[in-house]
Structure 1
C-alpha cells in the first residue's frame, strides 16, 4: 500500500482524490471498465498447501520505508544492500531477501504487454540485479499490485489481467519473493485477485514466496492460508510511535492464524529511520519477533549507525522470530498499558515480553505458570537484550521504561540456583520536579531468585551538574527471596535545565555465593517540568511532557496536515475555524504536567474538515491514569463537541484520541480552543 493509502490517512478530500488522482480506483466496479481476466484458481493448477516455503517468517530488506520513489532507489542501492548483508553479518543472522518495492518499472508496458524496468534506475535490467543478489547467496524479491496500477502517485502497471504474463517475467528474472499490493483493484473480489496470482506463480514452476498486501481489509487471515505465505493485517506503517503501537494492537489478537508457511504481517521494520527512539525501535523488533512477524528491514543500511545494526543483528531476538514451532505470541494481560505477551518455543521454553505502552516507566509482573511453564523448583531466565542469565523462583518482574520492552526467555530448571538471583530494580513512581528545586525519588531492589543476594548496594547517578544524595540506606547485608531494599534520594537538576525527560542510572551491585561481584544497571526517568500559568491559558502555549501521533507530529494551532512539522491548515471543524488548539492524528496521546495546580480543562473536539467526509475518532481525557471524560466515536459529518473535565488535584493530564475502531485512515482530529484553568 503506498500513495493511495497515504492520502487516505492524511485526509485529502475524498472527492478531490477520486476526481484528480485515482478516478479508476474510486469509481467502483459499476463504472470502471472491466479488466482483462486471467484464468481463476478453480480453472487451473490446484493449490499445493505445503510448498516448503516460508516455514519461518521471511527476513530481509525492502526499500520503501527509507526511499519511497526517490532517485536513490536504484541498482546501486540494491547491490549495496546485498553487500552490507554480507559485510555486517546480517546474512549469517538469517536475513536473506533483498526486495524491491514500487517504482522499479516504467509507467507503460511495451507493445507485447510486458513490464519494462526503468532504464535510469536499473540500466542493466532486473535480471542483472537478481543475479548479483543471488551471487551473494541471497534471494531477490519484487513488487506489483493486484490492480490495474501500483500505489505510487504515478501509477505504474499493476498485475490485474496480466497475472500469468507478469509471473512468467518474474520467474525468468529469478524472482524469489513477490509482494502483491491492493491499489486500483477495480472492485474485483480480493480472494479472486490474489488466488489468480497464486496460480500464475505456481504455473511458472519457480518457488516464490507470495506476500499478500491487501492491508487486512478483507481479513485475509481467514481465507488466505492456501493462497499466500504471509498477509498484511493492517494499513501501512510509518516511522512514528503512534503508528507502530496501533499496528501492534491490531496484529496481536491474530495469533491463532500464524503457523509455518503462513504469517500475520504487521508491515516492515522502521528500525533506524530516525522517527523513534532506540527504546521504541527495540520494542518494535522485540514485539515483531514475539509475534512471529516477517522481519523486513526498512532503513537504508548504507547510512545506518551502530545502534541500528546492534538491534537488527540481535540473534537471540531473531531466534524468537525464527523458532521452528511457528507460534505467534499471545497476550496474557494488558492492564493500564502494562502488556505481558508470551510465546511457546520448540524446546518447551517460553519467551515473555514485558511491554510498557505508557509514557512513563511502569512495573510489569507475571509468573512462570501464567506464561505457560510447568511447575518447577526454579526457572532459568535469560534477558535477550542484556544477554545475561539469572535464576527465579516464580515471579517475573521489571520496571520497564516508557515505550520499552523487556524480552526474556524462560526454562523450567531444577538447577536454577546455579544462576545469580534475578534482582528487579527501578523507581517506584514517576518523578517530576522543576529545575533547581530538590524533590524526593524512591527506588527499590527486590530479589526474585531462589537464593539470596549478598552484600547488595545501590547507587543513583545523573547528568553532569545534577545533585543526587541518598536520604535512606543504600546497602543490605543480604536479600533473601522476595525481600526488598528501599532507598530514598534527594534529586535536583541545576538551574536552567530545560523541561523534558532525562535519564538517570540506578546501579545495583551484589555478590554471588562464589564471591563474584555482579553489577546491573537500570534506567530511571526524571522529568523536569514547568508549572502551568495561573488563570485561563491555551494548551497550545503550554509545554507538554510527551506527545505521540499516528501520522506526522502533533501540531500547535494547526491541523496535523501531512508528515512534516508545520504543514497543516487552520483548525476547522464543521466549517468553523479555531485559532488555537492542537492538531493530531489518531492514535494520539499528548500529556501535560499540572502539578495539582489546575481545576478544569475544556476543548471543542472533532474531525478536521481537511479530511473530507471520512474518518472516525474518539476523544478521551485522563487525569493521573484515570479516564474522566470521553466523547464516544465521532465522524467527519458531526459538528464540534465540547469536552470538559474537572482536574482538581491532578498531577498529569493526558489527551487521548483513538481511531474509532476502524483503523487510522483519515483520522485528523482537533483539540480546538483547548484551555486550562489553574
Structure 2
C-alpha cells in the first residue's frame, strides 16, 4: 500500500510497472467501495479505486450552462439517493469544467465562481459527503482547462492546487490534458505526487482522450485513464469506444482502470437495446460506471438498467479482470470475463443491424471441463442448464449477458434451448417465402411440450409446412420446422416477424422466448448501368458524429450542415460525408458488380484525423485502404461486389481516436446489371 509521506523522485519504465503490480496486488482484498479518508488519513485508507469508480458527471447534461450551479449539484446528490443509485454503488458526484473564476487570486489560488457556488466548494463537498457520497472536480493539466473560456489550469501550481483540493474534501480529480505545457507524463506525475503529499486519497483520472497512450506509463500515476475520445449519446460512438478499449485489456486491473468515457443510459439518443448493450459491455470491460445523462430526466426503464445489481457486480468483481475477446466474426462478438468465484461473465454481442445467432462453448470462454454448466441471464435472471454450448439469437445492436459456471446440478435446471431461423431476408409484396427454423435442446434432460409460432403484423401469415411442436425434445435433439410466409400485397420497407418458442421443463415450469425475424419488402436496388450509390436510400446507416451527409461533408451534428466535399483542395459534387466510426449499407440484390469511389479526409477537419476505408460485400471485406491522413490526396478505391445481396461502406479510426475523422466517399458509384 502507498506510503503517504512526501514522494521521492518517481522512477519510470520497469519500476513504474512493478509499482503498479504491487499496488494491484495490495488492493485485491479491499472492499469494492472503500470510503474516502479525510485529509491526513492513514496509509490503509489511501488504497484508491480497488474497483472501477461509479458515479455521475455533469459534462454532457449541463456543460457550462447557467443551470450548472450549487443548487444543481445538490439536486443531483438528492437524485442519486432517491432513485437508489447510491445504494447500487454510484457514489461520486463529479463536477466538470467552469466551476472556477477565470483567474486565480493574488496569492495564486483557484477561486470558485461566486455566482455558481456562493458558499464555496468545501461547503458543497461537505453537503455531498453528508449524504454518504463522494465529491469530484475537473482541473487542467496545462495552463488552461479545456473549455473555450479557458479557466486556470494547474500547470506550475500542482502543490498548491492539490492542497486546496484536499482541504475542500475532493475525492476524485479529473485531470484534463488541455492548455499545453510539455511532456504529459511529467505533468500528470507532478499532480499525482502533489495529491499523495496531501495525505488525502484522491482518485486521479488521466483525461487525455487516449492521446498520450497513458495506459503504457501511468500505472503508478493515476487510478483511471481515458482510452478513447469523448463519448456521445449515439450508437456509433458506443461502438467506436468498445473497439478502442477492448484491445487494452492487459493494461487494466485494480487501482488502474481503463475508461472508455461516460455512460449515456437515459439520454434518449439510443434505444433501450443499445443502452443495455452499453451497460453490459462497460461492465464486462471493468470500466468506470459514470453516468453522463441528465439524471433529472431519468425514466424508470433507464433507472432499471443502471441499477441492475447483477450486471454491476460483474463490473465491480473483486478479481478486477477485464473481459477478453474470445471470438469476433462479421460483427458477432464473444467476450469472456473471469470472475473471483471462478465463473465467467460471457457477453454475446451483436454489433450488426440485423439479428444474429452467436454461439460459443464453456471451454472456449475459459471454464474448466465439467459434465455441465449453469448459465444465468443477468438481464432476465433466468437460469438454464447446458452441456457446454452457450448460444443465443441476439437482436440487432443487442447483448446477451450470462454468468456461466460449472454446476453439479446442471441437469436439474431447465434446459437451455437455442432457437434459430434462416431464409430470405428480402421479399416481394404478395409473394410466399419459405423459411426454416430450428430449436435445439442443449440441456441435460428432455423437455415437456415445445411449441413454436411465427407471427407478423396485419396481413402477414405464416403457416408451418412441417411439425411446429413436439411433446418431448430430448437432450441434444433439434426440432426443425419449415414455414410458408405470405407477404401482404401492399407491404413495403422494413418489417419484423416474431418467432416464439414456448416449452415446459420436466418440473412443470413454462418458459417463453422470442426472436425477431426481419424482412425487407419491396426494397429497390440501384438501376442498371453505372449510377451514384449515394442517391439510393440506404438500408442502414450509423455515424460517429451527426448523420451521414449526402453530397456534403460531415459537418457538425445536424443534418445538412456540411460543406461541399473537398479532399486536399479538390472539390467533388457527389458522394457521402461521414465521421468514423461509420457504416452505410445498401441493398444490391446480387445483381451489381463494382463499387468505385475517391476517398479521403475532408479539408474541414484541418490537419488532424486518421481513418481507414473498407468496402464489404455481405459479410466479407473486399477492398480497403488501411490508413489515410489529411495530408493525403484523394485515393481511388474499387471493389468487386458480384453476387452480394448488400454492400457496406465502413470507415474506422486510424489509431488516434475518432476526433476530426471527417471522411468522404467522393464520386461514389456502383455498376449493376
Asked if 1:362 corresponds to 2:329, the answer is no
Structure 1 pair 465/318, CA: closer, same or farther in 2 (3 Å)?
farther
Q: Which residue of 2 aligns with 1:170?
A: 165
Q: Which secondary structure does the structure 2 equivalent of 1:80 belong to?
A: helix
Deviations 1:343-400 (CA, angstroms, capped at 9, x unpaired): 1111111111111222222221111111111111111110011111000001111111
Q: Which residue of 1 aligns with 2:606?
A: 612
Tell me how far apart the structure 1 counterparts of residues 482 and 99 of structure 2 sit (CA, whole Å): 60
Tell me how far apart the structure 2 counterparts of residues 567 and 41 of structure 1 sit (CA, whole Å): 53
Asked if 1:65 corresponds to 2:57, the answer is no
Post-superposition offset of 1:40: 8.5
Which aligned pairs between 1:208-607 and structure 2 lie closer than 5 A?
208-428=202-422, 431-434=425-428, 437-491=431-485, 494=488, 499-500=493-494, 502-528=495-521, 530-535=523-528, 536-607=530-601
Whether the 8 Å contact between 2:491 and 2:522 is mirrored in structure 1 is no
Tell me how far apart the structure 1 counterparts of residues 161 and 626 of structure 2 sit (CA, whole Å): 47
Q: Which residue of 1 aligns with 2:40?
A: none
Whether the 8 Å contact between 2:492 and 2:520 is mirrored in structure 1 is no
Whether the 8 Å contact between 1:241 and 1:276 is mirrored in structure 2 is yes
Cα root mean square deviation, aligned: 2.3
Post-superposition offset of 1:271: 1.6
Asked if 1:115 corresponds to 2:103, the answer is no
Post-superposition offset of 1:583: 0.4
Q: Which secondary structure does the structure 2 equivalent of 1:67 belong to?
A: coil
Post-superposition offset of 1:664: 2.1
Q: Structure 1: state its 5+ residue gaps.
A: 1-38
Tell me how far apart the structure 1 counterparts of residues 151 and 314 of structure 2 sit (CA, whole Å): 37
Asked if 1:205 corresponds to 2:199, the answer is yes
Post-superposition offset of 1:585: 0.9
Whether the 8 Å contact between 1:612 and 1:636 is mirrored in structure 2 is yes
Tell me how far apart the structure 2 counterparts of residues 217 and 430 of structure 1 sit (CA, whole Å): 45
Q: Which residue of 2 aligns with 1:16?
A: none
Post-superposition offset of 1:541: 2.2
Q: Which secondary structure does the structure 2 equivalent of 1:506 belong to?
A: strand
Post-superposition offset of 1:498: 5.7
Deviations 1:516-574 (CA, angstroms, capped at 9, x unpaired): 22222333333445212423432222111111112221111111111222211111123
Deviations 1:23-50 (CA, angstroms, capped at 9, x unpaired): xxxxxxxxxxxxxxxx996189x99955
Whether the 8 Å contact between 2:253 and 2:320 is mirrored in structure 1 is yes
Q: Which residue of 1 aligns with 2:9?
A: 42
Q: Which secondary structure does the structure 2 equivalent of 1:398 belong to?
A: strand
Q: Which residue of 1 aligns with 2:32?
A: none
Whether the 8 Å contact between 1:617 and 1:658 is mirrored in structure 2 is yes
Calculate the TM-score normalised by the size of structure 1.
0.89
Q: Which secondary structure does the structure 1 equivalent of 2:448 belong to?
A: strand
Structure 1 pair 390/552, CA: closer, same or farther in 2 (3 Å)?
same
Whether the 8 Å contact between 2:155 and 2:181 is mirrored in structure 1 is no
Tell me how far apart the structure 1 counterparts of residues 365 and 661 of structure 2 sit (CA, whole Å): 36
Task: Find 1:628's aligned residue among 622, 643, 647.
Answer: 622
Structure 1 pair 487/119, CA: closer, same or farther in 2 (3 Å)?
farther
Q: Which residue of 1 aligns with 2:43?
A: none
Structure 1 pair 154/561, CA: closer, same or farther in 2 (3 Å)?
same
Deviations 1:250-296 (CA, angstroms, capped at 9, x unpaired): 21122222222221111111222222222222111111101111000
Q: Which residue of 2 aligns with 1:11?
A: none
Instruction: Select between 606-615 and 528-537 the one with higher mean Cα deviation.
Output: 528-537
Instruction: Select between 366-375 and 287-296 the one with higher mean Cα deviation.
Output: 366-375
Post-superposition offset of 1:307: 2.0
Whether the 8 Å contact between 1:592 and 1:652 is mirrored in structure 2 is yes
Q: Which secondary structure does the structure 1 equivalent of 2:175 belong to?
A: strand
Post-superposition offset of 1:208: 1.4
Q: Which secondary structure does the structure 1 equivalent of 2:471 belong to?
A: strand
Post-superposition offset of 1:486: 2.4
Tell me how far apart the structure 1 counterparts of residues 297 and 491 of structure 2 sit (CA, whole Å): 32
Asked if 1:152 corresponds to 2:119, the answer is no
Tell me how far apart the structure 1 counterparts of residues 572 and 49 of structure 2 sit (CA, whole Å): 52
Q: Which residue of 2 aligns with 1:12?
A: none
Post-superposition offset of 1:496: 5.6
Tell me how far apart the structure 2 counterparts of residues 497 and 161 of structure 1 sit (CA, whole Å): 68
Deviations 1:427-462 (CA, angstroms, capped at 9, x unpaired): 336723355554344332111111122211111233
Q: Structure 2: state its 5+ residue gaps.
A: 1-5, 27-45
Asked if 1:101 corresponds to 2:96, the answer is yes
Moved over 6 A (4+): none
Post-superposition offset of 1:510: 1.0
Post-superposition offset of 1:161: 1.0
Structure 1 pair 259/647, CA: closer, same or farther in 2 (3 Å)?
closer
Deviations 1:197-231 (CA, angstroms, capped at 9, x unpaired): 11211222222111121222333223222211111
Post-superposition offset of 1:99: 0.7
Q: Which secondary structure does the structure 2 equivalent of 1:562 belong to?
A: coil
Post-superposition offset of 1:249: 1.6
Whether the 8 Å contact between 2:395 and 2:515 is mirrored in structure 1 is no
Instruction: Select between 561-570 and 462-471 the one with higher mean Cα deviation.
Output: 462-471
Post-superposition offset of 1:143: 0.6
Task: Find 1:181's aligned residue among 161, 164, 176.
Answer: 176
Structure 1 pair 369/43, CA: closer, same or farther in 2 (3 Å)?
closer
Whether the 8 Å contact between 2:377 and 2:403 is mirrored in structure 1 is yes
Calculate the TM-score normalised by the size of structure 2.
0.90
Q: Which secondary structure does the structure 2 equivalent of 1:164 belong to?
A: helix
Tell me how far apart the structure 2 counterparts of residues 342 and 629 of structure 1 sit (CA, whole Å): 31
The higher-RCO structure (CA 8 Å, 6+ apart) is 1
Q: Which residue of 1 aligns with 2:640?
A: 646
Q: Which secondary structure does the structure 2 equivalent of 1:595 belong to?
A: coil
Tell me how far apart the structure 2 counterparts of residues 638 and 649 of structure 1 sit (CA, whole Å): 33
Q: Which residue of 2 aligns with 1:77?
A: 72
Structure 1 pair 330/305, CA: closer, same or farther in 2 (3 Å)?
same
Q: Which residue of 1 aligns with 2:659?
A: 665
Asked if 1:89 corresponds to 2:89, the answer is no
Deviations 1:400-423 (CA, angstroms, capped at 9, x unpaired): 122211110011101111210001
Whether the 8 Å contact between 1:178 and 1:210 is mirrored in structure 2 is yes
Post-superposition offset of 1:324: 0.8
Deviations 1:68-106 (CA, angstroms, capped at 9, x unpaired): 222332222222221111111111111111110111122
